[in-house]
Structure 1
Amino acid sequence: MKKKINGLIIDLQYNGGGSLEEAIRLSGLFINTGPIAVMNDKKNKQNALKDYNRSTIYSGNMVVLVNGLSASASELFANAMQDYQRAIVIGNTTLGKASMQQVFPLENSDNEFIKITLEKFYRITGKSNQYVGLVPDVEIPTLLDEQMPREKTNPSALKNDEIDVKLKYQLFKNKNYSNAIQKSKERLQNSVESKEIETLNTQINPYFETSFPPITLQFESVFDDVSKINLIWNEVKKYSEKEYPIQVEQNKVDLEYQKFDEFLKTISATRSKALKQNFALVEAINILTDLIAP
């Protein structure tokens, strides 16, 4: 953080998780010290997962982006940032996976394995996002959000529950956060982009939710049906390619590497374009601007 930035955005959209230890370490970079989550095993033995490092690398304004495919370790990090009031979490309700699995080989088999759930993790409040997901502070309208395969769509998914915990931790209590959240909600409610996304979802959702009547196998009938679908998806494609006025700059180290590597240069250009097409990122920037403004 040598650049002395005024705001930080951590994008966990489509982040399916990974290392629990890494999620705890990442959380520890932004809080001074304290519990991050609570693990609970089959014997109901609780184990508080803590950040023991009495320091942070950044204590300024933060926004965390999540969506329906943010899962597991990424949910744990977002949970901690929300519970400590360390960051404003925006986007969509997350996948809802708050359990730990381990893979074991089956006896007398070299290529068959079984994955068993051993533990569940809870927020420092005792609540869990298992099955229900993490609800962001600000909901961002997103195309096809209802079609994302969340944990609750799995018939064998563990149901949500809550445990009694008594943990000590110190909230950040950023006095500007509640005002910034309210401004964001009002801005989105009146946003042309929000209304455009909601209109498209209204047209798309019936194709996933409704059983349509049979189509007569005549050219005109099939053509009309296909044309109707194509019109909708052309609108979806047009919207998904829309770019917003976001200025993307790279640090000197990345630029230096790209001078000698065309592949890195191409990847960088692709990522920069994706950033400009991210509506949630636009709102994250707006929120940081509100927080920075006097």
Structure 2
Amino acid sequence: MTENILSDYRMLKELTQKFGPSGNEKEVSDYIAAQIHPLVDKVESDPLGNLVAHRKGSGLRVMIACHMDEVGVMITHIDERGYLYFSPVGGLISSELVNKRVIFQNKRIGIVCKDKEKSGERTTEKIYIDIGASRESEARKVVKEGDMAVLVGDYVETDNCIISKALDNRLACFLVIEFLKHIQSKHELYIVFTCQEEVGARGAKTAAYSIRPDLALVIDATRSYDRPQESNQTCLDRGVAIKAMDKSIIVSPQIKNWMAEMARKKKIEHQWEVISTGSTDSGPVHLTAGGIPTGGLALPVRYLHTGNEVASKKDLNSALKLLAELVLNPFTR
């Protein structure tokens, strides 16, 4: 596969704008299920909320995993003036949300605000959400404790880039759907759109235990280090990143060498992901059921976990090419 086969990104736009914080991925799951139903032999949701698709084959059992969920917030308290207090769901820093908009599942918009409160010599910051209510009873008509909201981030597309909320990890979901459209393999494929990755990769653990594949390939976003005064390690427009290490996994030399050799052989532009912080579904997957050979593909994204994540179309195309070659020519022990 040498040509760029990704040219229509309308599905990606729809995916990014779906509401899907960790533990509440059903809107995303239902959309994906409708897209892939004609492309697989079976698709179903498991008790935890993973969407699992099965395509029959006679070769190895290959699992491809990408998470559906996005970071967000959960309401913990509503005060007498109708202001909402919250806890982050996933890797959000509350102070960095100030003056940003969030949206609830019922489409109500809120603005994250900050006030300083002084008690003696101590000053603390209070961060809250303003939904335009003037009292608690008014706010409770539309929002209650336990409700979740996600960042607002419109989808914008340029010639070579995509800007949106939730590119982590709807970018990979889109990639895998396109893979199913264009690639046929003799191997038995399990495609898992996992839940709750942003809060501990919970869905991947249960899915891998149920499937027990011979090989797992995990696709996720990774931080792009090409901003000013950064390390320039994993960058946009340098191709898909092959995972060597993160906080939860050190990929075996055999797996990462197989992936890199396939990329070189097929002349697919690629780079390495070597990080000591952050983790993905590859962590719990490779530790499941006595150990599962697991590789990771990473899509560089600037401004992760914001409403304005930025990704490269070039990197997405190289990721699709490499994923196809890896599934057509899987690693065997």
Could you say which TM-score interval applies, normalised by the shorter chain?
Answer: under 0.3
More helix by share: 1
Give the number of the structure with larger relative contact order, counting CA–CA contacts within 8 Å between residues 6 or more apart: 2
TM-score normalized with structure 2 length: 0.25
TM-score normalized with structure 1 length: 0.27
